[in-house]
Amino acid sequence: MSEQISPYIQKIKDWKTQDIIDNYLKALQVYKFFQQEFQNGRLQSFKDLRKICDLLWNAKEGNYLIFRRMTNPQKRKFEDAPKIIPNDDEIAFMNNVGLLFHKSLVARELKYILEYYDTDSVVYQETKTELTRILKQVQTLFKQGIDILLKILKYQNDNIPLLTYLLENQNSIENAMGTELQVVLENMLGKDNIDQAYFKVGKFYFESGWHKQAKSMLNKVLKINPQHQLAQEVLARFPETAG
């Protein structure tokens, strides 16, 4: 089997990884809202579950774009394609996304059925009971998925698009993952290297000509670590007219 990774995959893998995680966390946020409303006796529209399915579909297909599919799990054999061979954590995440997608499809169809039966009918009550069971399974899978995702982040400490996404969307990230951004960054970079997340993004912004955003990130570096020499050097290179 060829071990070569295509130049296209190498070029897009960081951006695609960020996109996969974005779709996954957005699906989780929509699910949390739907589940909360469902538990409070308010049945949200079929569209909410369809949105979850669409987001998970995007995440699932994104995984298959950059990673090789496993053709024989028992013998750990993968398709012969110029893609990345996933490690154990990445395989676990791919499986989690796939299971979530299919469970969400079932939930979507059950919700569709509920919209066409009277609330006092036997079919309605049986369908609602089954939907409740499936939603609990989805909740468990999302919880497992977040645990896996925190492990995967350890391999993404140089993924600038992902770091940028995390730093620029702190509130939504924390709400979806149920943990502080600090914990997420510690999984990526280690407890003593949080300043590096802000520095890498600040340097990326500076080199891209986004000076306002760069200054904001680099100043956060110095707030965490006033002795960060590289951040000081980059700030010293700013044009006098930069905001």
Amino acid at 38: F
Specify the pLDDT at position 240: 61
Amino acid at 221: V
Q: Which domains does the chain have, with CATH numbers?
A: 1-156 (1.20.120), 158-243 (1.25.40)
- Give CA–CA dist 136/143, Å, rounded: 11
- Give CA–CA dist 111/124, Å, rounded: 10
Specify the pLDDT at position 30: 93
Specify the pLDDT at position 242: 52
Q: Give the bridge partners for 77, in sequence order.
A: 72
Structure tokens at 89: 């954590």
Are the C-beta atoms of residues 100 and 145 closer than 8 Å to each other? yes
Return per-residue pLDDT of the chain as tens, 243 residues. 456 899 999 999 999 999 999 999 999 999 998 888 877 777 667 788 899 999 999 999 999 999 999 888 888 889 999 999 999 999 999 999 999 999 999 999 998 888 877 778 888 889 989 999 999 999 999 999 999 999 999 999 999 999 999 999 999 999 999 999 999 999 899 888 999 999 999 999 999 999 999 999 999 999 999 999 999 999 998 876 555
Specify the pLDDT at position 114: 85
Specify the pLDDT at position 44: 66
Phi/psi at 78 (5° precision): -120, 160
- Give CA–CA dist 142/144, Å, rounded: 5
Which residues touch 7 (CB under 8 Å, ≥6 apart)?
Answer: none
Specify the pLDDT at position 187: 87
What DSSP element (H or E) covers 70? strand 70-72
Phi/psi at 197 (5° precision): -60, -50
Which residues touch 39 (CB under 8 Å, ≥6 apart)?
Answer: none
**DSSP code at position 155:** G
Q: How far is CA 126 from CA 34, 66, 119, 204, in A?
A: 19, 41, 10, 54
CA atoms lying within 13 Å on the CB side of residue 184: 23
